[in-house]
Amino acid sequence: MPFSIDDIISAQKELDKFRSKMYTHKNSSDHERFIFPFLCGSYFTYRKIDVKRVVSIAKSVSKDPSYLDIGCGYGDFLEKVRQYLPKAEGMEKNVEMFFKLGRYKPDYIKIGDAYNEIEKKYDVIFVGWMEPGVDYRDKIAEKTDIIITTFDKGGQCGINGGCEFEGFGYDKVASWVTPSWIDVNTELMNKYYSKISDDIIKSLSELRGAHNLWYVYSKPKYKEKIKEELRKIETDNHANPPYKHEKILDECGFKIGEILPAWPSVELWKIKFEE
C-alpha cells in the first residue's frame, strides 16, 4: 500500500516533536534525513557518486537527456540529478502529500500514476519504487531504452520482490550496493539517541547491513557506451566535494569501500560491470 495521507501527517508530527525535543546533537539537522527519509530526504542513502553515476548513464545517450524519476516523492534525489540534467522530471502519484502538508510542488514533478500515465519516451527512466504486488515493468519498457532501478534486497518491488528487467529486452549493465535507510537509521539511533553503553553500540554495529541494490539496464546497443562513461566517473574523482550529509554515513560506518562483517562479499558503492 502507498503511504496514506494520515501516515504522512503523523510522520510530520513526529518530525516536529523530534525538532522540538530531540535536537540534542549538533548534527541533528543532518540526522533528520535518515530518521525521516520521506519528509526530509530520500529513501536512497545516496552520495554524490550515485548522482554522478546516474548522470553519466543518461549522458551516454544524449548531451541533454530526458529523464524521469518514478515515485519521486518530494524530489530530494531528483533535485540533485537536475543540477546536472536540467530536463529531468519526476512522477508522483500522491497529490495530497503536497497540498495537505502545504509543501511546494515544482512543475517538474508531474502528478500521475506510472502504471498508465507515462506519456512520452525518455532517454532514461529511474525506478526507485514499486509497491509490493504491483508490476508495471512492461509499461516502463515501452517508454525507455535505459532503466536505473534501486530497491531493497528485502524486496518491495514488483510481484516477486524483484525489479529485474532482463525479460523485457534489456541487458544488465552494472550494479552496486548502498546501505538502506533503515540500516543507517538504526546506527544513528543507537549512536546518538539511545542511552546504551559504547560496548553495546560497538557490538550492535557488527550487525550493520546494507541492502539497497542499484541495477542499471539498457537495450543492448547502449551497453558498452554506458560502461565506458561509468568507468570515467570511477577514475576522475568527479564526486568531490561530497554532499554534507555524507559525513553521517561515514560516521555510522558506511564509508565508500566499507566491507560489513555481516556481508563480507560486498564492498559498499563498488561498481560491478556485467560482461
Judged by CB under 6 A, which stretch of 12-20, 54-62, 72-80, 218-226 contacts ligand SAM? Answer: 72-80
To the nearest whole angstrom, how small is the minimum distance from the Cβ of residue 107 to ligand SAM?
A: 17
By rule CB under 6 A, what count of residues binds ligand SAM? 21
Q: Which of 115, 168, 263, 273 binds ligand SAM (CB under 6 A)?
A: 115
Q: Rounded CA gap, 37 and 207, in Å?
A: 22
- Binding flag, residue 164, ligand SAM (CB under 6 A): no
Q: Which of 128, 158, 179, 253 binds ligand SAM (CB under 6 A)?
A: 128
- Binding flag, residue 44, ligand SAM (CB under 6 A): yes
Q: Write the interaction track for ligand SAM spanning residues 24-43; mark x where CB under 6 A is met and - where it is not.
A: -------------xx---xx
Q: Which of 129, 151, 192, 217 binds ligand SAM (CB under 6 A)?
A: 129
Judged by CB under 6 A, which stretch of 21-29, 88-96, 198-206, 240-248 contacts ligand SAM? Answer: 88-96
In the bound state with ligand SAM, the residue whose beta carbon lies nearer, of 134 and 233, is 134
To the nearest whole angstrom, how small is the minimum distance from the Cβ of residue 199 to ligand SAM?
A: 34
What is the 3-state secondary structure of the chain? CCCCHHHHHHHHHHHHHHHHHCCCCCCHHHHHHHHCHHHHCCCECCCHHHHHHHHHHHHCCCCCCCEEEECCCCCHHHHHHHCCCCCCEEEECCCHHHHCCCCCCCCCEEECCCCCCCCCCEEEEEECCCCECCCCHHHHHCCEEEEEEEEECCCCCECCCCCCCHHHCCEEEEEEEECEHHHHHHHHHHHHCCCCCHHHHHHHHCCCCCCEEEEEEECHHHHHHHHHHHHHHHHHCCCCCCCCCHHHHHHCCCCCCCECCCCCCCECCCCEECC
In the bound state with ligand SAM, the residue whose beta carbon lies nearer, of 156 and 190, is 156
To the nearest whole angstrom, how small is the minimum distance from the Cβ of residue 90 to ligand SAM?
A: 8
Q: Quick check: bond before 241 cis, omega within 30? A: yes
Q: Which of 40, 54, 68, 72 binds ligand SAM (CB under 6 A)?
A: 72
Q: Which of 48, 84, 87, 93 binds ligand SAM (CB under 6 A)?
A: 93
Residues that bind ligand SAM (CB under 6 A): 2, 37-38, 42-44, 70-73, 77, 91-94, 113-115, 128-129, 131
